[in-house]
Amino acid sequence: MIIHKNEPFLLFYSSNSLENLLSTESRLSAEPKSSGNRFQSVYSSRFNVYSEPGRDKVYPQLEVGVAIENRLPYLKVRKDKYATPHDELTMNYPPISIELPAWVQPLIAAKGTFFPSIEERMALVIELAARNVTEKTGGPFGAAVFSIQGQLIAPGVNLVTSANCSILHAEMVALALAQKTLGRFDLSDNGKFSFDLAASTEPCAMCFGAIPWSGVNRLLCGARDADARAIGFDEGPKLPDWQAALQARGITVIRDLLRPEAIATLQAYAASGGAVY
Ligand SMILES: [Zn+2]
């Protein structure tokens, strides 16, 4: 057994054996009070408990603190965190940022940012999907948020494979960027404004789930989810009556906008041998 620590301090409560330490942990796993007169956290450290190299057993990552309560030290187990034997010891997780591929900005600059008709809005997101394939920056999906009048607020493309992030579907990217651009998580600002989300393919289960909280009022769709399934994409466990579910929350759904063009992009991706997930 190896005990590895990232600070030059380690507290054993009452035992120098790992097994006893772990059993001691479980007895002392109640959260210490973080404030109040009787308890004062002095300092803490974290370490991972490893099994022998090559074994796949994982142990909880332990947070060890020295505290003073009735003059006794405390131990605390972070049961929500697990470490694998090859994990680094740091808890400094990287920030997550969403960055559109470099080709998007020039494309938008060439097109302008006003799209009066819903067909023009759909044409833009299909073009985003198609370029995402030819540029090899992600899956064959594009999306964008527009004001109801047609002002482009934010484009989005699928970044799952290029960013190694399963949640970065085109709709999620467009919604997140639109919310960042407007500085509010509810695009409608509590019903004051109306927005379209245009998607080159009907939303998967995740994106369907995200739409009601985004503040868009209308969903414009190109290809059907069945079209994406036809080339092997997993659209997830969606409600059979997903459109009615959105309508019931005040979100209008318009389907089949430029559907043949949208399908052609899916098929071009499949023909190119792109990753299907
Ligand atoms: Zn999705």
Question: How far away, in angstroms, is 191 Cα from ligand 1 center?
Answer: 24
CA of 46 to the centre of ligand 1 (A): 37
Q: Would residue 234 count as lying in a domain?
A: yes
Structural contact between residues 170 and 143, judged by C-beta atoms closer than 8 angstroms: yes
Residue 59 burial class via C-beta count within 10 angstroms: exposed 0-12, middle 13-18, buried 19 and up: middle
Same domain? 40 vs 148: no
CA of 75 to the centre of ligand 1 (A): 43
In a domain, 17, yes or no: yes
Domain end position, chosen among 48, 83, 118: 83
Q: Is residue 276 part of a domain?
A: no
- Please report whether residue 185 resides in a domain: yes
pLDDT digits (tens, 9 = 90+) for 37-61: 333 333 333 444 433 444 444 444 4
- Find the 200 Cα to ligand 1 centroid distance in Å: 11
In this structure, the answer to whether residues 171 and 37 fall within a common structural domain is no
| Surrounding residues of ion ligand 1, Cβ less than 5 A | 169, 204, 206-207
Same domain, 155 and 54: no
How far is the centre of ligand 1, averaged over its atoms, from the C-alpha of 162 (Å)? Answer: 16
Residue 108 shares a structural domain with residue 236: yes
CATH number, domain of 129, equals: 3.40.140.10
**In a domain? residue 95:** no
Report pLDDT for 92: 65
Q: Are residues 136 and 60 in the same domain?
A: no
171 is catalytic: yes
Answer yes or no: do 48 and 156 share one domain: no
**Quick one: 148 and 178 in the same domain?**
yes
How many domains does the chain divide into?
Answer: 2
The pLDDT value given to residue 264 = 95
The verdict on residue 93 lying in a domain is no
Beta bridge partners of 193: none
Are residues 156 and 253 located together in one domain of the fold? yes
CA 203 vs CA 57, 169, 230, 236: distances in Å: 38, 9, 15, 10
Specify whether 71 is located in the same domain as 114: no
277 is a domain residue: no
Q: What is the mean pLDDT of residues 16-45?
A: 38
Residue-averaged pLDDT of the chain: 77
Report, as an integer, the average pLDDT of 12-32.
Answer: 38
Residue 25 has pLDDT above 70, yes or no: no
Judge whether 9 lies within some domain: yes
Bridge partners of 62, per DSSP, are 47, 77
Same domain, 61 and 160: no
Question: pLDDT tens-digit profile of 175-221?
Answer: 999 999 999 999 999 999 999 999 999 999 999 999 999 999 999 99
Single out the catalytic residue among 19, 25, 69, 171: 171
Q: Is the pLDDT of residue 85 over 60?
A: no
DSSP-assigned letters across all residues of 215-255: T--EEEEEE-HHHHHHTT----S--TTHHHHHHHTT-EEE-
CA angle 116, 146, 186 (to 5 degrees): 150
Kindly indicate the confidence band of residue 104, based on its pLDDT and cuts at 50, 70 and 90.
very high
Same domain as 130, residue 50: no
| Structural domain containing residue 167 | 104-271
pLDDT at 277 over 70: yes
